[in-house]
Structures are given as structure tokens and as C-alpha cells.
């Protein structure tokens, strides 16, 4: 890990914006694993997690689709996923949720979960 990344200054990329209309196509039909950051406007922990999500989007570009879902604009999806609070991060492999992370964690927690999933997929292939 480089010094600038250690300080929290890694490359960033905007995640794919999700809503009720595109969730199925972008997540359930994706060929690659998908990380979904469920956030709410005015949620301080959500705001604190946003830079981490942008760094993950850049770091895993081409391997994992990184998305964010505004909970207030996707009531149907929130009900289907049974999400009760934000931030919540879901990691999908196909149509299956393989990891649910409620609250905010360190960036290493998300990278470990994604790396483990990618390793598992590589051994199956």
C-alpha cells in the first residue's frame, strides 16, 4: 500500500447510480460481482463511507461493479432487500447476496470481502 493510499488519497471513481428501475439490470443481471452501497441523504456515516466506495470503484474497475443506491429514491428495492438502516453494503454474486455489512467499517474490511469473493470465483472457473 502506498503512502498516499494509506492517508486515504487513492484514485476515485463514481459508483453506478441505482434506482428501482435499473436495479435488476445493473445488479441481478451483472456478469461480475456487485457491491451496492445503500445510503441516505443527511446520513453522516453514509457521507463518511462515500470516499471509500469511490476508491473501491476505481480499485476494482473491471472486476467488481460498484454501485450506490439512494434509499429514499428506491422504496421498492429497499422493501425487497429488507434493508432497515443506512449505510448498508451488500455484495452480490449473481442474484445472491453473499455479504451484508451494516454500518461503516474500515476500507480493508471491504477489500478483504471482495478479494475473497474474487478468489473463490477464480478457483471455480
What pLDDT digit, counting tens, does each position of 101-125 carry?
Answer: 999 999 999 999 999 999 999 998 6
Dihedral of the alpha carbons of 83, 89, 93, 99, in degrees to the nearest 10: -90
Domains for the chain: give ranges and CATH numbers.
12-124 (3.40.30.10)
To the nearest 5 percent, what fractions of the chain are helix, strand and coil? 45, 20, 35
Q: Is the pTM of this model over 0.85?
A: yes
Taking only the tens place, the pLDDT of each residue in 39-87 is 999 999 999 999 999 999 999 999 999 999 999 999 999 999 999 999 9
Alpha helix ranges (H) inside 8-106: 23, 44-59, 75-81
Amino acid at each position: 500500500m502506498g503512502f498516499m493510499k494509506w492517508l486515504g488519497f487513492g484514485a476515485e471513481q463514481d459508483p453506478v447510480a441505482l434506482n428501482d428501475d435499473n436495479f435488476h439490470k445493473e445488479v441481478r443481471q451483472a456478469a461480475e460481482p456487485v457491491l451496492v452501497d445503500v445510503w441516505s441523504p443527511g446520513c453522516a456515516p453514509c457521507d463518511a463511507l462515500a470516499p471509500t466506495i469511490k476508491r473501491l470503484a476505481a480499485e476494482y474497475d473491471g472486476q467488481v461493479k460498484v454501485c450506490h443506491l439512494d434509499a429514499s429514491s428506491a422504496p421498492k428495492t429497499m422493501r425487497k432487500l429488507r434493508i432497515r438502516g443506512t449505510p448498508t453494503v451488500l455484495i452480490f454474486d449473481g442474484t445472491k447476496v453473499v455479504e451484508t455489512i451494516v454500518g461503516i467499517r474500515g476500507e480493508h474490511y471491504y477489500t478483504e470481502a471482495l478479494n475473497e469473493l474474487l478468489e473463490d470465483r477464480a478457483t471455480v472457473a
